[in-house]
Amino acid sequence: MINSVVSIIIPCYNDSQYIEQSVQSALNQTYPKTEIIIVDDGSNAETKAVLKKLQPNITKLITQENQGQSTARNVGIKAANGDFILVLDSDDYFEASFCEEAVNILQSSVEVKIVTSQLRRFTDSKTIDIFVPSGGDIATFVIKNGATGSAMFRKSDALSVNCYDETMRKGFEDWEFYIRLLSHGGITEVIPKPYLNYRVRANSTTTRANKVKAELLKYIYTKNRVVFLQHIDTYVSNLFNEIEKEEKQKNKIFKSIDYQLGTFILKPIRVIKSFFK
């Protein structure tokens, strides 16, 4: 049933090299009722020139001072006319069938709140691997992010939880948003096909986020404390499983021939060094 409009929101910050491919993937969607909204989040002159060239082919170009990805996404969501929102990062792109399959899933079940897909991770030169998100309900999401950052959801659901947290400018904002989106029920469904092409870059948002992971996790846990307490048994069980895995890995390393040989070789050196302390 093709009644609903899909609003494809593409936040862009200094992505002149890749934004055209991202926009083209939105234009190529087989689902016939789409609008494309680009939010220029304070890009440089080079990127603005590319966006100006793309403007006749899209529905709306919104320009703002740099305020971060969460704010750019929220601006796009609030300007959208569609019932369904697809957030797409400006250096990634979707295969043409994603919107059509995702809309069918959302229209078929009110229980589904988020639709994502398998993800092809690639660099400019090669495919790295196919990543499969877990999907699932809130019990999964208090442990890890079970969806990709580029995913489809209902505009009404996003507005009901105040969209993305605009204070989160260092990463993981999509995971935190999904936690709130699923906290009152519903599931994430993963289309078992690699429809999303995710570009791996040395200085990507994900790479930067992992450098301050502890800080971001603390913020997410504190902000959503009630949700985590509701699922504390699941969370603690997973925590102990991860600790057991780490201990097994450590024991495996300690028992390895290379480790024992290294210890044997270095022991005399340590003894000699101790005489000169």
Which is more confidently placed, 253 or 44?
Answer: 44
Average pLDDT over residues 74-92: 97
Each domain of the chain, given as residue ranges in start order, spans: 6-226, 234-275
β-pairing verdict for 84-87 and 6-12: parallel
- Determine phi and psi for 37, rounding to 5 degrees: -120, 120
The DSSP string of 114-178 is EEEEEEEEE-SS-EEEEE----B-HHHHTTS--S-SS-EEEHHHHHHTTSS-TT--SS-HHHHHH
Mean pLDDT across the chain: 90
Query: Who contacts 66 (Cβ-Cβ below 8 Å, separation ≥6)?
Result: 13, 41, 42
pTM of structure:
0.86
pLDDT per residue as tens digits for the range 135-182: 999 999 999 999 999 999 999 999 999 999 999 999 999 999 999 999
pLDDT per residue as tens digits for the range 21-60: 999 999 999 999 999 999 999 999 999 999 999 999 999 9
6-226, CATH topology level: Spore Coat Polysaccharide Biosynthesis Protein SpsA; Chain A (3.90.550)
Query: Who contacts 172 (Cβ-Cβ below 8 Å, separation ≥6)?
Result: 145, 209, 216, 217, 220
pLDDT per residue as tens digits for the range 173-225: 999 999 999 999 999 999 999 999 999 987 767 777 778 999 999 999 999 99
Average pLDDT over residues 102-113: 97
3-state helix, strand, coil in the chain (%, to 5): 45, 20, 30
